[in-house]
A = this chain, B = another copy of it.
Amino acid sequence: MPFPAPLRGVVPPLVTPLTPAGEVDTASVRRLTEHLISAGVHGLFLLGSSGEAAYLTDAQRLTALEAAVDTAAGRVPVLAGIIDTTTARVLDRAADAVRAGADALVATAPFYTRTHPVEIADHFRRIRAGADLPLFAYDIPVAVHTKLPRDMVLGLAGDGTLAGLKDSSGDEGSLRRILVELRRRAPHFSVLTGSELTVDCALLAGADGVVPGLGNVDAHGYVRLYEAARAGDWAAARAEQDRLAILFGLTEAGDPALMGPSSAALGAFKAAAHLLGHIDCAATAAPQVPLDESALARIRGRLAEAGLL
């Protein structure tokens, strides 16, 4: 399919369902993909942070991506994370994603190494030149420990290097200034927020859509929120976002003394998707700490409270 410019709407970052033995469960990838499409999402993002890309081998990444692409079958675009430390390695991941049939690529700034704005811009230009698919920049300082500078994003949007931005920086002030500029300079550029707790705000501010991890749990909610905002019904959008903000509490079901916030959140998305029947097994990849029974009970309670279970 021709890739939409700009890409708009709800683009959930799929969790990557695993078997109890830790292999990619392609049947569950397919079932989750089908569920999300039927819920009305506008695209799928595979192999992002919510997809545990950092925990999957190259072979596992390819397996998950192929299953999703095959299931989507062109009904919605599939974006593929090509997460690796620097350019040459990212290009290897990009070649895999192209081979698997992805519709667009999503790359972060270099990480592990200390870098510089000139290098980051060059990194994105080399990826775009080396892989013939639309490229999104993934601004996620909590993972890569660099924030994409505003001027760089605007420059790479303006010269066509980037087709869009997935903004998980949490810096809504900087995002606002980008959005105001982009409307003048690059109207086909797509801005998707990864901040799932403030989607009504991001849409009010002019963002094109959202990549909500919690969309693995309540895709219908995010689709309703998006449609309300599109219709200018900001009271309805706000009410939906408030409901989802409460549901988001499930990411804190894990005991912070026993596990990190990342394991707790990814585990909760998977546990909820499992309880709702979208995937067969809630296991997260090693060495993440699994949620215990009391955490699972809290998640079940949240889902019931939200009327999802």
Contact = CB atoms under 8 A, between A and B. Distances in A.
Contact of A241 (B54, B176, B260): B176
Interface stretch (A32-40, A117-125, A272-280): A117-125
A92 interface: yes
A122 B170 contact: no
A197 interface: yes
B55 A287 contact: no
Nearest to A205: B201
A261 interface: yes
Interface residues of A, number: 71
B89 A287 contact: no
Interface in A222-273: 232, 234-235, 238, 241-242, 245-246, 248-249, 257-263
B119 A260 contact: yes
Contacts of A204: 200-201, 204, 234, 238
Given A201-B198, A234-B204, A245-B180, A114 B142 contact: yes
A8 interface: no
A173 B170 contact: yes
B119 A87 contact: no
A204 B54 CA distance: 35
A86 interface: yes
A76 interface: no
Give the 3 A-B residue pairs with the shortest CB-CB distance, closest first.
A201-B201, A116-B260, A173-B197
Given A122-B287, A123-B286, A172-B198, 14 more contacts: A54-B113, A83-B85, A88-B286, A110-B287, A111-B111, A114-B142, A114-B261, A119-B288, A120-B287, A123-B287, A173-B196, A176-B245, A201-B202, A204-B204
6 contacts: A88-B285, A88-B286, A120-B287, A123-B286, A172-B172, A173-B196
